[in-house]
Amino acid sequence: MKPTHPAASRENTRLGIAAGIAAYSIWGLVPIFFKQVAEVPATEIIAHRVVWAMLLMTLLLGFGRGFGDALRLARQPALLGRVALAAGLVVANWLAFVWGVNNGRIMETALGYFVLPLLNVALGVVVLHERMRPLQWVAIALAGVGVAIEATRATDLPWIALLLAGTFGIYGLMRKQLPLDAASGLFLETVCMTPPALAWLAWIAYGGEAHFGIGNGFSATDLLLVLTGPVTAVPLLLFAVAARRLPLSVMAFLQYFAPSISFLVALLVYHEPLDLRRLATFAAIWLGLAVYSADLVKAMSRPAPEAE
């Protein structure tokens, strides 16, 4: 008798849904956190985020599953090089996100993560040679219409949204092909990022431009910069719990929590403008996501072909 898959257990399914909602809710609300350190340049915030996340993941792995998987991959230069490249994509993604949040463009960051699932489908076709169903083509086309509408704005292309979707989409594709769990993967990525992060923190401290440890005692800014580590690691680990226990169709719906919450935060908390053109952009992308979700549910509801 085959063992029951964790996702088939009602208790594990409930745990997966709770963990998924928690992860995406944290990601959706995280702009509020980064707004509290808006006086700190994005480059310094990301450097701290890397260092404190690395220390936290070291503790978690040390007291948890250990470093076996990470050390096994680290002994393979080709795979370690791919981890380093993935780490570079993460840094670019984090920089764009924090810069966007702290420069009043939270709504544009939300737009990027609304586009992401549709970009993932397109990457599957281009890179993995997957075949798209007709409704998926419609969803991609609608997302393209939304981006085209945004490009007609008087300012410029929605480069933050495109950079966020592009870097995280390619990062997800690379991580999918690496034989690493989420915790070991994040640990190795932060290890790769830590030397340049420490070098940058040392450089700005030498130049008198650092915002960490400059007052008497441990300041609120110091605490917030330390907390960038848990803010990075905790939702990713919660996501890993959810991904192991839930089917793809449920995860596909949960992933809309984060940009939806960020959109509401931008609109209701920070009163970012929502003109008709941007509303049309979101409407086209939301319609594309609705078509994509309907097609996904339809595909998941079909009975699997019987083995001969």
Higher-confidence residue: 178 or 31?
31
Q: What is the pLDDT of residues 150-176, one digit of tens each?
A: 777 656 667 888 899 899 888 888 877
How far apart (Å, rounded) are the C-alpha atoms in residues 291 and 65? 40
> Which one-letter DSSP state was computed for residue 268?
I
pLDDT for the residue 222: 93
For residue 151, what are the contacts with CB-CB under 8 A and spacing of at least 6? 157, 158
pLDDT single digits (tens) 183-225? 888 889 999 999 999 999 999 999 999 999 887 778 899 999 9
Contact 280, 149 (CB under 8 A): yes
Per-residue pLDDT reduced to its tens digit, 51-66 = 999 999 999 888 877 8
Query: 178 falls in which pLDDT band (50, 70, 90)?
Result: confident
Residue 292 banded pLDDT, cuts 50, 70, 90:
confident
Tell me which of 33-37, 85-89, 191-195, 300-304 is least confident. Answer: 300-304
CB atoms near residue 23 (< 10 Å): 24
The per-residue pLDDT for 5 is 46
> Residues near 149 by Cβ (< 8 Å), separated by ≥ 6?
277, 280, 281, 284
DSSP letter at 4 equals P
Which value, to the nearest 10 degrees, does the dihedral of the CA atoms of residues 44, 46, 51, 56 take?
140
pLDDT above 70 as % of the chain: 91
- Angle formed by the axes of helices 106-126 and 134-151, to 10°? 140
Whole-number Å distance between alpha carbons of 253 and 255: 5
How large is the average pLDDT for residues 6-26?
79
Q: Read off the pLDDT of residues 259-277 as tens digits, 9 standing for 90 and up.
A: 889 999 999 999 998 888 8
Query: Do residues 186 and 87 lie in contact, with contact meaning Cβ atoms separated by under 8 Å?
Result: no
Structure tokens at 174: 């690379």
3-state secondary structure of 293: helix
d(CA 196, CA 194): 6
Strand, coil or helix: 297: helix
Which percentage of the chain shows pLDDT scores above 90? 33
What is the pLDDT, as a whole number, of residue 181? 78
Highest mean pLDDT among 10-14, 17-21, 78-82, 200-204: 200-204
- What is the DSSP-derived secondary structure letter of residue 130? P
Model-wide pTM > 0.75? yes
